[in-house]
Amino acid sequence: MVAFATGVIGALIFLQKLRISPDVAFSVTDWTAFVIFMVVIGGVGTMEGPIVGTLLFFLLHQFLADLGGWYLIILGGTAVMVMLAAPQGLWGLLARRFDLELLPLRRRVILK
């Protein structure tokens, strides 16, 4: 199901671009760096982390897009600060502090 949804989202992105070519699909400046930013800021290894990272990314994008090139510098600085302060991302920090687990999809190994 997730693979189907990912395929549909990819198709919609390519419809928006109006052309399909490898340089559009794997452009570092278009999506790749932003997706890595979202996952690292939110938290790797959880379902909630990338959701939190996406919300933060779009909030920052709305408020800082008028700054031109400084926008990307601020995004990079934000990523570095979050990685230094919370190595497991913002969701990891919130989950540990408030004992939250909204989407408990992790598998745990139980040793007997």
Domain boundaries, the chain: 27-98
Q: Please check the confidence at residue 109 and state whether its pLDDT lies above 70.
A: no
pTM: 0.69
| 62 neighbors 56 (Cβ within 8 angstroms) | no
**How far apart, in whole angstroms, are the C-alpha atoms of residue 24 and residue 66?**
24
pLDDT confidence of residue 101: 80
**How far apart, in whole angstroms, are the C-alpha atoms of residue 57 and residue 54?**
5
Query: What does the pLDDT look like over 29-88, one tens digit per residue?
Result: 667 788 888 888 988 888 888 889 999 999 998 998 888 889 889 988 999 999 999 988
User: What one-letter code names the amino acid at 34?
Assistant: F
**How far apart, in whole angstroms, are the C-alpha atoms of residue 34 and residue 43?**
14
